[in-house]
Amino acid sequence: MENMIQIPYASTGSFGSIFLDYLHEEQKLKPFYTYAPNIASFESIIAHRKKQSINRAVLLHVLKEQYQSIDASELTLQNIAALADENTFTITTGHQLSLFTGELYFIYKIITCINLAEKAAAANQGNKVVPVFWMASEDHDFEEINHANIAGTTFEWKAQSGGAVGELATSGIDQIIDSIDHYLGNQAGKEKIISLFKLAYTEKKSLAAATRILVNELFKQFGLVIIDANHPLLKKEFSEIIRSDIFEQNSFHQVTATNTLLEKQYPIQVNPREINFFYLSENTRSRIIKTETGFETADQKNQFSSEELRAEINLHPEKFSPNVLMRPLYQESILPNLAYIGGPGEMAYWLQLKSTFSHYQIPFPMLAWRNSFALSNQKQLKTIEAILPSAESIFKPLQELIDAYVKTNSQNILSLDTEQQMINEQIQAIQTKLQNIDQTLLASSAAATTKIANLLKGLEKKMQKAEKKNHTVAIQQIEKIKEAFYPNGILQERQENFSYWYMHHESFIQLIKNNSEPLNKHFTILTID
């Protein structure tokens, strides 16, 4: 059984102003993107994309190579083969190579991507649209990806990292899987998730290879194509922009100018560097910086003259890794892409990039947001209906929820406002008498007034605290519900791993897909049992 409650994103208090304004197509943001986020825009996007050629032969070659040892579905293989056709396009989402997929929104992003690809294809007969997952295998922030919160416990992978995380060996993850196995005990469905993790992460392989297996197993039935763009042939396609941007600092100038306009109304998500590329070498990914004599990496392990750096880009473009601002341009230069699915933070920095895309004459895709869910069950829903004004109120601060419940359901008057007003009237009468006798006595009167007011406030708090004891059961229920929606004070989709739900619900991925509506402007509470 499932139930769906939709709530305006703004009512959750969990999303930034630039995302909310983009969602509602506010006029002030329109200069920062090309296409309105709706299905009707795809006709124009496709027409524009057809004028911009990419090297489909190289893309196809790399994908076939990367899928050699993968148990791909027939639909995925058909989608890969279709990319050779000029009438086949992609819709893409991407993410870091988080351990066991990290947080729930990893799943939501991919499902939104799959569903939007289906809708775009249905609305544009004669064109095929393929969903693509871009593995962020070149990232190096290990602390962001090395853990997963499963059934209330954090499992952490401890390993040495300094370079691109995709190249990390998965050694040690088998021990984490054993710990999860032991922790879950005899819970129903446990073997399903443990078997999946073992298939992906055991045996000697890289984190990128393991992530590909895991994501493929979860989504292959929908024809998802997974790409690791950390590949020499793909980087070669981008080498001219690598060279141009490092030596001419085009993205720095373009994004800086855009930020000057955006920051008048919004916080800036990402600030550009003069050089927005890293240099990859063994176990390191280090920023490239300009020096008086040429260039060097921030760790000072590599130095180049201008001529040497140009030669290195030509000979080994795979050693040059784009940062967060250049990755979107890399993606759009090697894929026939129509739209990018991102979270609120990603949407914000993509909006900083339109002028950079224009400079390099790369089509700027539609920006589409991932669907957002809070997963619940029927018991929790009944509790919410019984003790809270609405499902929407669950997004309010915990103390505010408790105070409102106690105030609404108390049979006693918990305010001393009336008494305070009566006292104030008496004090005014006293002050009139004092003023007639001696003006200096008014200071003592004011001090006494403040003291009385503070005493009454203290008594009021004690009354409310005592009254809360009469509603202990309901307060505990509110706290439990709040923890379910905001575990550890963080929105559920940004904290919990998919494992618990995958274990306990048959066809969990299909269930989310059935309830995921691309370009939906509401946050969804999905109640499943």
Mind listing the pLDDT tens digit for each residue in 279-305?
998 889 999 999 999 999 999 999 999
- The rounded distance, in Å, linking the Cα atoms of 301 and 288 is 11
Residue 441 is predicted with a pLDDT of 63
pLDDT, position 412: 53
Residue 413: the pLDDT is: 52
3-state DSSP assignment of residue 177 = helix
Nearest to 224 by CA among 74, 364, 329, 359: 74
Among the listed residues 165, 107, 112, the one whose alpha carbon sits nearest the alpha carbon of residue 136: 165
pLDDT at 402: 83
Residue 289's beta-bridge partner residues?
296
Q: What is the pLDDT of residue 1?
A: 45
All residue ranges of the chain with pLDDT < 50 are 1
What is the predicted pLDDT for the residue at 442? 65
Distance CA 236, CA 251 (A): 19
Are the C-beta atoms of residues 192 and 503 closer than 8 Å to each other? yes
DSSP 367: E
Whole-angstrom distance, CA of residue 193 vs CA of residue 203: 17
| 22, 521 Cβ separation under 8 angstroms | no
Contact (Cβ atoms closer than 8 angstroms) between residue 105 and residue 490: no
User: What pLDDT is stored for residue 529 in this prediction?
Assistant: 78
Three-state SS string across 231-289, please?
Answer: CHHHHHHHHHHHHHHHHHCHHHHHHHHHHHHHCCCCCCCCCCCCCCEEEEECCEEEEEE
CA dihedral 224, 214, 189, 185 (to 10 degrees): -160
Question: What is the secondary structure of 292-330 as a DSSP string?
Answer: SSSEEETTSS-EE-HHHHHHHHHH-GGGEEE-TTTHHHH
- Is the dihedral angle over the CA atoms 448, 450, 454, 460 positive or is it negative? positive
Distance (Å) of CA 427 to CA 421, 424, 448, 451: 10, 5, 9, 12
- pLDDT value for 514: 96
